[in-house]
Chains A and B, each alone.
Chain A
Amino acid sequence: MIVSIEKCMHCGACVGSCPQNAIYLNEVVLVFNDQCNRCGRCVKACPVGALTMEAKK
């Protein structure tokens, strides 16, 4: 997942929306762990459009 640090408001909307509990916010930085299954719910939940799905490698 690509996080735009210019847009992210550290609000946690993506964290609580993630069905995998794969996102962690320490108030400054968002960290995605390997539980992320690319469902994309966080991309929609982000109020400011700061998240973008990486192209699959």
Chain B
Amino acid sequence: MKTEYDVIVVGAGPAGSLTAWHAAKAGARVLMVEKKQEIGAPLRCAEGVSKNGLDKCGIKLDRKWVSAEMVGAKVVSPGGNIFRLNEKSAGNEVGFVLERHLFDKAMAFEAVKAGAEIKLKTSVTGLQMDGSKITGVHMVDNGVHKDVTAHCIVGADGYESQVGRWGGIDTTLKPGDITTCYQYRLANIDIEPDYCEFIIGSAAPGGYIWIFPKGEGIANVGIGVLLNKLKHPGDVKMYLDKFIANDKRLCKGQPVEAIAGAVSVSAPLDKVTRDNMLLVGDAARIIDPITGGGIINGCQSGMFAGRVLGECAKTGDFSDAALQPYEKLWRDAMEERLWRNWMAKEKFLTLQDKVLDGIVETLNESDIDKVTVFSLLKAIKEKHPEVVKEFEDLI
């Protein structure tokens, strides 16, 4: 390891690796630091992505990191109405359930191939400052304190998002914009192996329960609940356990993995850059507020950031002004969608189970040709204009 880099990426998830990959490819000297001892583990994800999402990020499909290929998705209302999107109508939007242990490593391989260096079991503990200028980071590398200099620090530290806050970028979330999650990898369950399932309504207040198949008789079965809908500590796990116990297909299943975590379901931040710092992925709060999905948005933001950092490395200018092309690229790609879906989320969490039953029932009469939040909202706008009244201009 050198003592000076152009870019230090904090966190080796997909967003961090895509940043490191594209920055290194463009000639920047890049160090990526991961506090865990293994990239991609432990899992903190439901692992679903769309096929065209991977294309958008320039990621070449490799079956090694795909667990299962989906042919459709279904949304189940509280009363049991099912809205089904099948292969024919879903087109390229339906996706894969990944094996994140392998996917994350594959993205890190790309970063390494492009010339980035990686440190594992190394925690960044703070920023080095010269007055108000960020000049590097303090880190603990397998127990040894080190100071490393860099021109730009990339916060790819996920939901925890500490790097940005150290640098004065406000990523604080309101309780209504936080979803806390719990998930089992359940084995020996009786599910459709090629449909992702979403169960909405009061079984998961302000969120949903998901069943994402991972091969024969195995699936990620998880729940997200909005923080301000929680009353008692540990309620999230309780809601999921209750659902599983009462579902005939799932109740005999046994867990082979249990994970917990949280995601932001917020509107986009005003700013994710400052002089000598930028944020990518979950750290930049760019998770889709309706689906809670963050892999593709994270990868895409990393790709944009890496390209811009590569340009910065050529001139040596990593000022806020020089980083603005990154702000423009990611906002052009997803900002409007994030706003619209945040408004949709705010509306949906006010809907009672009976209303959701009605919506899901009438969706079946709609002609939906793509599995996107946008196409679902469009169909809802046709049948239930009152539901989307507040943000109909965006649909």
Contacts and interface: CB of A to CB of B under 8 A. Distances in A.
Do A and B come from the same complex? yes
Contacts of A1: none
A19 B177 CA distance: 13
Interface in A6-33: 7, 9-13, 15-17, 19, 21, 24-27
Instruction: Determine which residue in A17, A24, A27, A51 has the highest number of CB atoms from chain B within 10 A of its CB, and name it.
Output: A17
Nearest to B236: A47
B123 A44 contact: no
A25 B160 contact: yes
A24 B172 CA distance: 15
Given A11-B259, A21-B162, A25-B160, A41 B175 contact: yes
A16 B35 contact: no
Interface in B62-99: none
Contacts of B162: 15, 21, 24
B36 A13 contact: no
B99 to A, nearest CB: 20
A2 to B, nearest CB: 11
Given A9-B259, A17-B173, A46 B36 contact: no
Contact of A47 (B35, B159, B262, B264): B262
Contacts of A11: 44, 259-262
B227 A49 contact: no
A17 B262 contact: yes
Interface in B350-382: none
Interface in B251-269: 258-262, 264
B233 A43 contact: yes
B232 interface: yes
A48 B234 contact: yes
Interface string B94-131: 00000000000000000000000000000101000000
B263 to A, nearest CB: 9
B262 A45 contact: yes
Interface string B143-154: 000000000000
Given A47-B261, A52-B233, A27 B35 contact: yes
Contacts of A48: 182, 234, 236-237, 260
Contacts of B230: 44
B260 A51 contact: no
Contacts of B35: 26-27
B227 A47 contact: no
B123 A45 contact: no
A47 B181 contact: yes
A21 B283 CA distance: 13
B305 to A, nearest CB: 20
B165 interface: yes
A13 B234 contact: no
Contacts of A15: 159-160, 162
A47 B182 contact: yes
A21 B175 CA distance: 15
11 contacts: A9-B259, A11-B261, A12-B44, A13-B260, A13-B261, A16-B173, A26-B123, A44-B227, A45-B227, A49-B233, A52-B233
Interface of A: 7, 9-13, 15-17, 19, 21, 24-27, 41, 43-52
Interface of B: 35-36, 42, 44, 123, 125, 140, 158-162, 165-166, 172-173, 175, 178, 180-182, 227, 230, 232-237, 258-262, 264
- The 3 lowest CB-CB distance pairs between A and B, nearest first, are A49-B234, A49-B233, A13-B262
